[in-house]
Amino acid sequence: MTNHPENLISAADIDAMEQRYRANFINSLSGFKAANVVGTRSAESENLAIISSVFHVGASPPLMGMLMRPHTVARDTLENLLSTKHYTINHVGTDWVDKAHQTSARYDAGVSEFAQCGLTPWYSARCNAPYVKESRLRIGLEYSQHFSLENDTVLVIGKINEVLVSGDAVQHDGYVDIEALGTACISGLDSYHKTHRLAQFTYAKPDIPVSKKASKGTAR
């Protein structure tokens, strides 16, 4: 790749990159991302897949979105949730990132990633998709809609039906202290990180300097 002042990397430079190098480079640009594993099931088996593109869509109704790779080959997670209409999103803990990453391996359909990766399926009374028992923040969702984007990536929107949170992580104002839960994050395709909070601020208003938010403790 040609060197440029200030490490300028042009679109032409990106196009010229080797495929795996380009994938690592582009995936690193968006910074730290949520580390989650998505649980689904088929008639034959339970499925688990790591997803780093999970995001908030809205609070009323409570919606979450996730981006999935192009459906040009069999994608068990997408096919399962479209079939059953239910799936779970489970925060990856810093103490089991290796097991979560192993779920990205291409196991044959009908093979349980739970069993292969050393994680435990768990079901609630309100969701027919498997949760990860080891996760300390688990979300049960019902499929709402999906869209194919211009590069054939699939955007899935789901409605939150239930949330299971360990310990006292939910604060009085509704904030969930995911750092206290030991939730990991991802950069690039394969780098996992712990987090360290720098500050939490009050609601920003015009012409008023922001101030740090006082801790209000946990919900009762």
Q: Compute the half-sphere exposure of residue 70: CA atoms within 13 Å on the CB side of its CA.
A: 6
Say if 87 falls within a structural domain. Answer: yes
Q: How many CB atoms lie within 10 A of CB 192?
A: 16
- In this structure, is residue 213 part of a structural domain? no
Task: Indicate whether 138 belongs to any domain.
Answer: yes
Kindly state whether residue 175 falls inside one of the protein's structural domains: yes
Q: Residue 184 has what DSSP assignment?
A: -
| Host H or E run for residue 12 | helix 11-16
Euclidean distance between CA atoms 133 and 137, whole angstroms: 10
Domain-located, residue 97: yes
**Domain that includes residue 112, residue range:** 11-193
Consecutive 10-residue runs of the chain (220 residues): their mean pLDDT?
A: 70 94 92 95 92 94 92 77 96 97 90 94 94 98 94 94 95 92 94 92 86 64
Does a structural domain hold residue 6?
Answer: no
Question: What pLDDT, on the 0 to 100 scale, is given for residue 220?
Answer: 39
Q: Which CATH number fits the domain that encloses residue 118?
A: 2.30.110.10
Report the pLDDT value the prediction gives residue 159, as an integer from 0 to 100.
98
Q: Is residue 168 part of a domain?
A: yes
- Domain total for the chain? 1
The pair of three-digit structure tokens given for residue 113, joined into one six-digit string: 């990633």
Q: 216 lies in a domain?
A: no
